[in-house]
C-alpha cells in the first residue's frame, strides 16, 4: 500500500469511526434535550439558575445633637444550611454531622435532641435540599458562634453555612420624637426618615445568587468574589437636644392628660439659629385598652388653624409699623362688648367689663378682642380717609411683610400652607367682618411652627430664621455636609417696632393686667402671648355655637437676651380650664424653668474674685480630660498654674494655688481612674478593651481591678460617690 492510500485509509477510519458517530450522538442528544425533554429542562431552568441580586446597604443613623441615637439599624441574621453544597464532600459531612447536631441542640435550639437534629439534616441531604432553616433572627455575636460549629467552620462552599443578613430599625429612646424621626414603609415616607431617605438609605450592592427552591423565591449566595459591596447610608445629626426633648414631651403629656385634650404640640427653637431643639406631638387615640396619647400626627407642622390671640402680636406690629398708634394712646373698649356688621364681639377678660377705654399697652396685655378689632377697623378699613380706600390692602401688605403668608419650609414633608386672605377677594370670602376678625386671629390659618417662626424673629430683633432639624450629614463619624442657619429675612420690621413689640410681650407677663401674669417667676423674666381661639364654631346675628377651644402660648426666654423661643398649643381641652394661660402656659413655664436651671451659661457665674481663694474651696485631686478641666476653670474664673501637654490632667492644691499636673496613662495596663468622672473613666477603660460595671453616682472612688494590672479584657467594677 502506497503512502497516499494509507493516509486516506486512516482519515476514513477517523471520520466514519469516530467523528461521525460522535456527531450523530450529539445531534440525537440535542434533539432529545431541546425537543423531547425541552419543557422539563426549561421549567427546571426557571427554578434553578444564577442571577445578580441586590444586596441591601446598612441604613444610616439619626442622631440627636450630642450623638445619642434616635434611630439606628440593628443587624440580624437568618441561619440556613445547604447540606448539598457543591463543595461539600461525603467524608466532611459524615465526619462532622454528629458534633454539628450536638452544637445546634445545645447552643441554638434546645427543643430538639442531638439525635433529632442528626436525622433531620441527614434526611434533608438525602432529599437534595439546598436551603434548610437552622435559626432566625440571631445577633451578630450568635452568628459568629454558630459559624464556628464543626462543618459550618469550613465555610459556605465546603460547609454549607448560609447567613442571610437583615436589619431592624430601632429607636433606643422609644417614642421620643417619634413622628419627627418618622419612618419609611414602602412609598410612605414620614419625618426625617422620609426626608433624608436617599442619604440614609445608601446605594445597594450586587451579588450573584443561586435560586434553589422551585416553589419559592429562595436564593443563596455564590462565591464572594462576584459580590459588589453596597454603599452604606450616611448618618444625619439633628438639632434635637435629647434632654430638652424629654422634658418637653413629659410636660406636654401631663397637660393633655390633665385637660383631656384632643391633641397637643410644643416646639422649642434656638432664637439665633432657628434650630429646633425639641418638638413634641401627642394625639388622643382610642385603643382596646382605652384612650391614650401617642405621636400619631405631626400637628406642629401639619395642623393649620385659626391661631386666635397669639396673632395679635402681628396686628399690633402692623399698627406700630404704619405709625397709627403709640403704646400709651387711649382707645375705647366699650366695656368689653361691641358689634361689627350686626355680629357681636366680646372680651373674655373680666377686667374689660369695667372699662370704657384704656391704653394700647393694656389692650395688648389683657388681650382685649374689642380693643384690637376696634383699632384695626378704625385704621385699616375703607372708612379711614388716610388710606385712600386701600386700608385692607395696607393691612395685608404688612402681614406679608412679616412673612406670615409663607410656609416655614422645614425639611420634613407635610407642612400645611398658611392662609392670609387677599384684601376684598371674593375667592377668599372677604366680608365686612374679615378685618376685625383677622385682627384677633380668625379668618386666617397658621401652623404652630409658622407662628413660632414669627415670634422667634421678634425675639431675634427682627431677623427671621428658617427653622431646621438637621445640622450635619456624617459618614463614619466624618462630617460630609453642614447645614448652616439660614436667614429668611433680615428685618421683618423696623427696629423701633421690634423694640415695642418686645416690650408688649413682656407686659403680658409682668403687667398686673397681663393674661400671663400668674405665670411670672422671680427667678428670671420671659415674654410671650397667650391665645384662646374657638374651634368648630358657627356664628349668626342671633346666636353663636362653639364646638371647643384651642389654648396656646408663644414666647421666648430669657426676655432680655433670648436663647430659646417656644410655642405650646393644646387643642380642645375638655376639663380644668381652656384658656391659654391656664392650659398651655404652664407647659411653657415647665420647659423654660428646665432650661434656665439646667443650661450652665444661663446661671450667673460665681464671683471668685470677691473673696480670697482658700485651699478648702479649690477643686483638689480632680482627674479628667485636660480640655474639660481648663474650660470649667475658665468659666468659673479660677486661676491655675502649669501647662502639661498630656490629654488627661490632675488638679493639685499647693497653699492657695491650683496646679495642673500631667496624668500619663499607659495603653497596655489598667490605669487608675479614681477621681475621674464617669465619662472620662469609661473612655479610658473601654479604649483598652475592658468591660465596665458601674455602681453609685458622682466621681470614681474605687475600682475593682488594681491599677498596673495588664489589660486583657477584664471587667472592672467602678464605685462612684
Beta strands in 295-361 (DSSP E): 330-332, 337-340, 343-346, 357-359
What is the structure's pLDDT at 277? 97
pLDDT digits (tens, 9 = 90+) for 475-521: 988 999 999 999 999 999 999 999 999 999 999 999 988 999 999 99
Q: Which of 29-33, 572-576, 690-694 has the lowest mean pLDDT?
A: 29-33
Alpha-carbon distance of 133 to 154, in angstroms, equals 18
Cα 228 from chain centroid (whole Å): 32
What is the structure's pLDDT at 7? 66
What is the structure's pLDDT at 213? 62
Alpha-carbon distance of 152 to 104, in angstroms, equals 11
Contact 231, 219 (CB under 8 A): no
Q: From residue 86, how far is each of 52, 144, 370, 708 by CA, in Å?
A: 19, 23, 88, 53
Alpha-carbon distance of 279 to 177, in angstroms, equals 7
pLDDT digits (tens, 9 = 90+) for 221-237: 665 556 677 888 999 99
Contact 640, 659 (CB under 8 A): yes
Answer whether residue 584 shows pLDDT above 90: yes
Q: Scanning the structure block, which residue is given the C-alpha cell 393644646?
A: 570
Cα 490 from chain centroid (whole Å): 28
The percent of residues above 70 in pLDDT, for the chain, comes to: 84
Contact 485, 468 (CB under 8 A): yes
Answer whether residue 592 shows pLDDT above 70: yes
Residue 214: band (very low, low, confident or very high) from pLDDT cuts 50, 70, 90: low
Three cell numbers, residue 684: 479610658
Three cell numbers, residue 425: 377677594
Element (H, E) at 126: helix 114-127
What is the structure's pLDDT at 241? 94
Q: 147-153: long-range contacts (C-beta < 8 A, 24 or more apart)? A: 149/99, 149/100, 149/103, 149/104, 149/107, 150/96, 150/99, 150/100, 150/103, 151/92, 151/93, 151/96, 151/97, 151/99, 151/100, 152/81, 152/100
User: CA angle at residue 115 from 113 to 121, to 5 degrees?
Assistant: 105
Q: What is the CATH number of domain 615-720?
A: 3.30.10.20
Q: Tell me the average pLDDT across 68-88.
A: 89
Name the average pLDDT for the chain: 85
Answer whether residue 583 shows pLDDT above 90: yes
Alpha-carbon distance of 381 to 377, in angstroms, equals 5
- Report the candidate in 479, 482, 486 with the shortest Cα–Cα distance to residue 274: 486
User: CA angle at residue 631 from 630 to 633, to 5 degrees?
Assistant: 65
Answer whether residue 29 shows pLDDT above 60: yes
Answer whether residue 606 shows pLDDT above 60: no
Residue 696: band (very low, low, confident or very high) from pLDDT cuts 50, 70, 90: confident
Answer whether residue 99 shows pLDDT above 80: yes
Instruction: Between 666 and 76, name the one with better pLDDT.
Output: 76
Instruction: Between 481 and 686, name the one with better pLDDT.
Output: 481
Answer whether residue 605 shows pLDDT above 50: no
- Report the candidate in 190, 183, 185, 187 with the shortest Cα–Cα distance to residue 412: 190
What is the structure's pLDDT at 375? 96
Residue 608: band (very low, low, confident or very high) from pLDDT cuts 50, 70, 90: very low
Q: From residue 413, how far is each of 84, 194, 236, 294, 352 by CA, in Å?
A: 51, 8, 17, 20, 43
pLDDT digits (tens, 9 = 90+) for 101-135: 999 999 998 888 999 889 999 998 898 888 888 98
- Report the candidate in 600, 593, 680 with the shortest Cα–Cα distance to residue 250: 593
Q: Phi first, then psi: what are they for 443, rounded to 5°?
A: 55, 35
Residue 38: band (very low, low, confident or very high) from pLDDT cuts 50, 70, 90: low
Domain 55-205+212-238 in CATH 3.40.50.970: no
Answer whether residue 447 shows pLDDT above 60: yes
Other beta carbons within 10 angstroms of residue 538's beta carbon come to 10
Q: Tell me the average pLDDT across 648-676.
A: 68
Q: What is the CATH number of domain 300-601?
A: 3.40.710.10
Q: Tell me the average pLDDT across 55-82.
A: 89
Answer whether residue 167 shows pLDDT above 50: yes
Answer whether residue 607 shows pLDDT above 50: no
Alpha-carbon distance of 10 to 15, in angstroms, equals 9
What is the structure's pLDDT at 282? 96
Three cell numbers, residue 382: 375703607
Query: For 188, which DSSP code?
Result: E
- Report the candidate in 482, 54, 485, 570 with the shortest Cα–Cα distance to residue 264: 570
What is the structure's pLDDT at 436? 96
- Report the candidate in 328, 326, 373 with the shortest Cα–Cα distance to residue 347: 373
Q: From residue 262, how far is each of 257, 313, 537, 550, 625 by CA, in Å?
A: 10, 26, 16, 10, 49
Residue 204: band (very low, low, confident or very high) from pLDDT cuts 50, 70, 90: confident
Q: Tell me the average pLDDT across 315-335.
A: 96
What is the structure's pLDDT at 655? 53
What is the structure's pLDDT at 708? 66
Instruction: Between 393 and 230, name the one with better pLDDT.
Output: 393
pLDDT digits (tens, 9 = 90+) for 125-161: 898 888 888 988 888 889 899 999 999 999 888 888 9
Amino acid at each position: 500500500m502506497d503512502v497516499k492510500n494509507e493516509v486516506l485509509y486512516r482519515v476514513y477510519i477517523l471520520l466514519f469511526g469516530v467523528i461521525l458517530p460522535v456527531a450523530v450522538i450529539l445531534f440525537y442528544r440535542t434533539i432529545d434535550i431541546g425537543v423531547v425533554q425541552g419543557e422539563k429542562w426549561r421549567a427546571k431552568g426557571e427554578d434553578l439558575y444564577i442571577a445578580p441580586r441586590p444586596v441591601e446597604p446598612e441604613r444610616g443613623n439619626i442622631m440627636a445633637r450630642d450623638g445619642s441615637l434616635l434611630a439606628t439599624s440593628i443587624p440580624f441574621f437568618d441561619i440556613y444550611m445547604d447540606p448539598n453544597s457543591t463543595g461539600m464532600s461525603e467524608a466532611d459531612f459524615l465526619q462532622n454531622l454528629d458534633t454539628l447536631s450536638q452544637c445546634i441542640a445545645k447552643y441554638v435550639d434546645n427543643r430538639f435532641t442531638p439525635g433529632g437534629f442528626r436525622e433531620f439534616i441527614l434526611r434533608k441531604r438525602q432529599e437534595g435540599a439546598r436551603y434548610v432553616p437552622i435559626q432566625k433572627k440571631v445577633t451578630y455575636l450568635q452568628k459568629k458562634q454558630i459559624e464556628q460549629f464543626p462543618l459550618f467552620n469550613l465555610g459556605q462552599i465546603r460547609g454549607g453555612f448560609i447567613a442571610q443578613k437583615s436589619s431592624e430599625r430601632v429607636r433606643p429612646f422609644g417614642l421620643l420624637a417619634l413622628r419627627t424621626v418618622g419612618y419609611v414603609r414602602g412609598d410612605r415616607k414620614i419625618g426625617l426618615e422620609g426626608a433624608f431617605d436617599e442619604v440614609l438609605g445608601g446605594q445597594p450592592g450586587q451579588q450573584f445568587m443561586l435560586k434553589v427552591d422551585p416553589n419559592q423565591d429562595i436564593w443563596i449566595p455564590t462565591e464572594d468574589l462576584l459580590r459588589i459591596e453596597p454603599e452604606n447610608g450616611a448618618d444625619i445629626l439633628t438639632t434635637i437636644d435629647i434632654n430638652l426633648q424629654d422634658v418637653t414631651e413629659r410636660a406636654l403629656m401631663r397637660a393633655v392628660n390633665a385637660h383631656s385634650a384632643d391633641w397637643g404640640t410644643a416646639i422649642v427653637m434656638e432664637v439665633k439659629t432657628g434650630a429646633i431643639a425639641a418638638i413634641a406631638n401627642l394625639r388622643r387615640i382610642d385603643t382596646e385598652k382605652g384612650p391614650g396619647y401617642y405621636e400619631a400626627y405631626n400637628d406642629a407642622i401639619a395642623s393649620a388653624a385659626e391661631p386666635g390671640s397669639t396673632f395679635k402680636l402681628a396686628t399690633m406690629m402692623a399698627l406700630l409699623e404704619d405709625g397709627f398708634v403709640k403704646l400709651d394712646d387711649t382707645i375705647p373698649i366699650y366695656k368689653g362688648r361691641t358689634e361689627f356688621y350686626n355680629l357681636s364681639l366680646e372680651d373674655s377678660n373680666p377686667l374689660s367689663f369695667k372699662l370704657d377705654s384704656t391704653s394700647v399697652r393694656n389692650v395688648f396685655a389683657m388681650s382685649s378682642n374689642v380693643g384690637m378689632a376696634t383699632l384695626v377697623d378704625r385704621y385699616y378699613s375703607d372708612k379711614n380717609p388716610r388710606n385712600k380706600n386701600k386700608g385692607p390692602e395696607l393691612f395685608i401688605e404688612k402681614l406679608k411683610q412679616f412673612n406670615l403668608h409663607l410656609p416655614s419650609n422645614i425639611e420634613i414633608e407635610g407642612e400645611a400652607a398658611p392662609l392670609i386672605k387677599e384684601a376684598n377677594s371674593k375667592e377668599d370670602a372677604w366680608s365686612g367682618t374679615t378685618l376685625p376678625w383677622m385682627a384677633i386671629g380668625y379668618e386666617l390659618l397658621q401652623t404652630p411652627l409658622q407662628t413660632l417662626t414669627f415670634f422667634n424673629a421678634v425675639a431675634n430683633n427682627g431677623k427671621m430664621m428658617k427653622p431646621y432639624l438637621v445640622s450635619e450629614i456624617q459618614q463614619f463619624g466624618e462630617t460630609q455636609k453642614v447645614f448652616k442657619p439660614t436667614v429668611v429675612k433680615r428685618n421683618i420690621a423696623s427696629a423701633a417696632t421690634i423694640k415695642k413689640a418686645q416690650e408688649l410681650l413682656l407686659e403680658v407677663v409682668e403687667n398686673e393686667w397681663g393674661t400671663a401674669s400668674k405665670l411670672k417667676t422671680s427667678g428670671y423674666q420671659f415674654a410671650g402671648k397667650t391665645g384662646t381661639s374657638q374651634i368648630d364654631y358657627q356664628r349668626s346675628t342671633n346666636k353663636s355655637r362653639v364646638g371647643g377651644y384651642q389654648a396656646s402660648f408663644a414666647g421666648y426666654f430669657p426676655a432680655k437676651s433670648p436663647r430659646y423661643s417656644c410655642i405650646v398649643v393644646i387643642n380642645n381641652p375638655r376639663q380644668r380650664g381652656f384658656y391659654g394661660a391656664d392650659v398651655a402656659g404652664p407647659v411653657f413655664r415647665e420647659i423654660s424653668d428646665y432650661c434656665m436651671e439646667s443650661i450652665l451659661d444661663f446661671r450667673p457665674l460665681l464671683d471668685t474674685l470677691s473673696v480670697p481663694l482658700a485651699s478648702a474651696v479649690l477643686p483638689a485631686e480632680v482627674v479628667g480630660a485636660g480640655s474639660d478641666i481648663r474650660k470649667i476653670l475658665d468659666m468659673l474664673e479660677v486661676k491655675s498654674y502649669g501647662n502639661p501637654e498630656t490629654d488627661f490632667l490632675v488638679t493639685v492644691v499647693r497653699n492657695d494655688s491650683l496646679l495642673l499636673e500631667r496624668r500619663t496613662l499607659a495603653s497596655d495596663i489598667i490605669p487608675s481612674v479614681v477621681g475621674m468622672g464617669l465619662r472620662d473613666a469609661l473612655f479610658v477603660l473601654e479604649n483598652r478593651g475592658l468591660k465596665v460595671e458601674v455602681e453609685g453616682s458622682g466621681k470614681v472612688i474605687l475600682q475593682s481591678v488594681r491599677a498596673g494590672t495588664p489589660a486583657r479584657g477584664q471587667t472592672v467594677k467602678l464605685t462612684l460617690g
